[in-house]
Amino acid sequence: MNKKLKVGELDITVKYRKGMKKIYLRVEKNGDIVVKAPLRTPNYIIKKLIHDNIAELKRRQNNSINNSSKKREYKTGETYFVFGQELPVEVVKSNKNTLIITEEKIVLVVKDEKQDREKIFQKGMREKLRQQSLYFIKNYEPIMSVKVNELRIKKMKTRWGTCNLEAKRIWINEELVKYPISCLEHIVVHELTHLLEINHTPRFYELLEHYYPNYKHNDKLIKDFNRYLNGR
């Protein structure tokens, strides 16, 4: 059951959930403020929670709206995160379309103004992510006694990676190119662990902790950096 509330200037969507024990606040990417609460939670409790956090909610809402309205133009002066580092973009002209990523900057090379800059840029970012993912895979395969037949990079909404046990195929979320490199290493080892234990059983997490003891820290790092990127 959903309900709308007005708290000061803020429009709030309340989603009541059976079995929930806590109240959660969230600012969506489009700026909508959503509260998830146990059934029969009194309005005054929800309103008090909103009032207590109103400054932070407004900040997150403004950041979300600003971020969603920004359209990347892939031009000199823009910045982009590559493995946790915010790098400036420089556009240059040459006889070949390509993307060059150094420790200091991202160089977008285009033949002329007619080229699809977004396509060239995203292709280069996916290749950067693919190469780094392959590096981690090759490093951990002998350690974990597993073998990956295929690696693919794609956009995913709800997962950082997936593993097809039968095909021994691993998919990595293309967004991970923005996150600290330890986050990618963690996700790669997580998916490799599925080749040893397909489900998230206690044995799975024992294996994951054995091969990547820092996984709990990186779980938190991914969440924290995601909030940072989205202004939350």
pLDDT in tens, 170-180: 999 999 999 99
The fraction of the chain above a pLDDT of 90, given in percent, is 62
Q: Is the alpha carbon torsion for 211, 215, 196, 178 positive or negative?
A: negative
- Residues paired with 80 in a beta bridge: 87
Answer yes or no: is pLDDT of 194 > 50. Answer: yes
pLDDT tens figures, 6-19: 888 888 899 998 88
Fold of the domain built from segment(s) 125-229 = Zincin-like (3.30.2010)
Burial class (CB within 10 angstroms; exposed 0-12, middle 13-18, buried 19+) of 9: exposed
Full 3-state SS string of the chain: CEEEEEECCEEEEEEEECCCCCCEEEECCCCCEEEEEECCCCHHHHHHHHHHCHHHHHHHHHHHHHHHHCCCCCCCCCEEEECCEEEEEEEEECCCCEEEECCCCEEEEECCCCCCHHHHHHHHHHHHHHHHHHHHHHHHHHHHCCCCCEEEEECCCCCCEEEECCCCEEEEEHHHHHCCHHHHHHHHHHHHHCCCCCCCCHHHHHHHHHHCCCHHHHHHHHHHHHHHHCCC
Answer yes or no: is pLDDT of 68 > 60. Answer: no
pLDDT of residue 70: 57
Identify the residue with better confidence: 196 or 229. 196
- Any idea where the domains of the chain sit in the sequence? 2-69, 79-122, 125-229
